[in-house]
Amino acid sequence: MLWPLAPMHSRAVLAAGGGTWTDTWHLILAGATVLLMLAAIVVAARAFGPRFRVYSIVSLTVLLVCGAATFESASRVGRDLPTPWLGVWQRINLSMFLLWIAILAFTLLRSARAERERRTAGYGSDAARLIGN
């Protein structure tokens, strides 16, 4: 909800020294968002099985590599230098995190289904049908 308060100025404005507090706020929000994303991945990686843990580690690796490339390119924006891959690195980061969220949702659904089946295993088939299986 804070992002609308932190628009980033264009490269030309920043290079001319026209940056304002909103640019700084944008960078602070971006840093906080990245920390929250990484924390979510680490916590979920520990909560689920080894397959999800490996997937999370691979996701973290891609995020860290592309994040470092983004950070390196971003430092060139304020000096109005070329950043031909900056948008690519940012989109890989966002896409990787959104894919991780989708896989997490799938994992949670499977986990809930397995738990529901475990709870109803002791009941007859009529009771299982009534509960929702």
Q: Cα(114)–Cα(47) distance, rounded to whole angstroms? A: 15
- State percent of the chain over pLDDT 90: 52
**Structural domains of the chain, count:** 1
Q: How many CA atoms, within 13 angstroms, populate the side-chain half-sphere of residue 40?
A: 14
User: Tens digit of pLDDT for each residue in 18-46?
Assistant: 889 998 898 899 889 999 999 999 999 99
Instruction: Tell me which residue of 64, 63, 40 sits closest to 52, measured CA to CA.
Output: 40
Q: Residue 93 in contact with residue 71, Cβ under 8 Å?
A: no
Asked if residue 93 has pLDDT above 60, the reply is yes
Q: Cα(78)–Cα(67) distance, rounded to whole angstroms? A: 18
The mean-pLDDT minimum among 17-21, 57-61, 99-103, 105-109 falls in 17-21
Q: Residue 8 in contact with residue 26, Cβ under 8 Å?
A: yes
Task: Read off the pLDDT of each residue in 65-87 and give the average, rounded to a whole number.
Answer: 89
Q: Quick one: tokens of 126? A: 């009529």
Domain residues for the domain of 9 are 3-131
- Record the pTM: 0.77
